[in-house]
Structure formats: structure tokens, C-alpha cells
Amino acid sequence: MQVHSIASVFLAILHFVSGVNVTENVTPSLPALQVNRLLTVSGISAGGYMAVQFHVSYSRTVTAAGVVAGGPYWCAKDNVETALHACMKQPESINVEVLRAATVAAENVGSIDALENLQNAKLYFFSGAKDSVVHTGVMSKLVDYYQSYTHPSNIKTVFNMSAEHTFPTMSYGNPCTFLGSPYIGNCGYDAAYDILSNAWEGIKRAGPNTSLAENLIEFSQAPYFLVDPALVSMGSVGFIYIPNACKNGNLQCRLHIAFHGCLQGKENIQDTFARHAGYNDHAELNNIVVLYPQAQPTQPLNPKGCFDWWGYTAPDYACRLGPQIAGVGKMVTQLQKAPER
């Protein structure tokens, strides 16, 4: 109760001093769209780690995952130094057997879904050959981790492209071998399409400018957290792309969650990742709702606005009890509800 009251007072003071309505032009809550209960996830860097955590936590309903420059579940083991070294640049220090044991322990206490759900998972992993932030060997450890639970034929890897630490697109962003904001690369390669088409059969490739700018909207993330989102390093708003065919809930559309990387949230680059990573064109054509949760920087534990994959929010950050994972899970539940008629 004390945490709630402090956060409420802080927001009230902020509103009074600034005179700004923090929910102006923001959808108060996510709509009920009756999306399919089976969904898929993806992410880059810290968002790639979060995608793995979300997949393992909710594997009963998350059927596929795409990871760009991430790593295996619970790699950091609740330790920021391990995250910065072993889980980014020293893959030889990653003991996959220890991570598997931790995963089984989480299953045994019921904080993640049953691991047998992973046996049919469809997985797509991308690591740039010139990635200077997350070594390709870390992604190889991710392959090793998932091979404990699914057949190698279910894992697609792209590790040979001359790309830096970036989310590859057909034509948007920096040169593919450039390291820097917004960490989206003009690589002549559509990673978003490969992620979506690997997750679902029959995905059609959209041409450029298929998406509609007005279909990417902001929503308040506050209803999905027990405390003010800022207290768990989540932004006040998130983004969601809703194709025209999915807006009234009459069509049961698919749902994909895309987690941004560090320095890619709204606080740093506004809606650039959500608008330009490449998902929305294919989403419009294939009736896929794309949810873009937003993390935000907090000092001193998360200055770059990363999703929590090393334990800055809570020791149980990597399972359904983790505040960020639980909050995004509630967003999914809202989108799966049938609209009121």
C-alpha cells in the first residue's frame, strides 16, 4: 500500500507541476480483440533475452520465438556482472547444464509452464557475424539450451550475415555493419518476415508501405502492473499495431509480441522500433496484432531502458512471477478477451 501511495503522490505532483495530462492522446487501456490464445514472441538483445524468458514462462500458449542477439534462459543468474560478461562476450563461461537445471527447478515449483510444451516450438535465431555486443557464441549456447527440449529441425539459425548489433530490415536504418542508435540496420534482409513466417505457416510477404500509420497506437501500460510501471522500469505507455481487419474483434487475429532492445524504447527513440523494425507491413497483410511493450530507463539499475534479464526488478524476474513478465501477460489476457457487443 505504501508503494502505491508514493507512486500516486509522485504522479499527482508531476501532473500539477507540468500541467500535462500524462494520458492525453493515449488509449486508456488495450482493447478486447479476441485474438487467438496461441501467440508468438520475438526480441533483440535484452528484448531477445526477454522473449526467451516469456516463451519459457508461458510455453503452453507461446508456440514460437524469434531471437536477435540474445541468449539462453536465466543466463545472468540474477547477477549483472554475469550478464555483462559471460552472457554477452564470454560464451565459454556459460554452463548450459546449470541453466537447464534452473529451468527444471522453476518448472517444479510451478513458476513456468511445463517444459514438455517446448517440444514443438518453432524457433528463429539471428546473430550478426560482426556483432560486437553479443558474441555469436552466446547465441550458439541458446541453440544448445533449446535442443534439450525440441528437435534441431525446429530451430532456424542465421549466423553468417555481415551485420553488427542491429535489427536487420530490408531498407530502413543505419548501414548493416554500423553500431549505434536506433540499432536498426538497412541490411537488405527482412528479419521480421522470417520471424513471423517461421512461426506460422502461410504468412504472405508484404510490400513496403502496406502498414497504415494510424494503426500503430499508444496505450497505457499502467493497468497491467501492481505498482506504477516506472517502479519496475516499464514505461507509462506501450505501442500496439492493430490491422484494419482486427479492430472490431470479429476476426480472430493472431498475436505477436516484439520486445525492443536497450536504448530502443520510447524514452530513447520514440516509436522508431515499433514503426520501422518491419513487423507492421506483414502484420497488416496477414491479420497479426503486434504488441510492443515498452521498458524505460531507471537510475541506477537500468540506465539504458533494457528489459529485465539480470534481476534488477526482483529475484524471480525470469518467470511468471517477474513483474515485467506478469505485466505483459496481463496485456495478452486483455487482448484475448471478447469485445462487448
The residues annotated with a catalytic role in the active site are 45, 131, 165
Question: C-alpha dihedral over 209, 211, 217, 221, to 10 degrees?
Answer: -110
Q: Which residues contact 151 (CB under 8 A, 6 or more apart)?
A: 119
Helices (H), 24-175: 46-57, 80-84, 96-108, 136-146
CB 88 within 8 A of CB 70: no
* Rounded-to-integer distance, Cα 236 and Cα 229, Å: 6
Burial label, 237 (beta-carbon count in 10 A; 0-12, 13-18, 19+): buried
CB 106 within 8 A of CB 112: yes
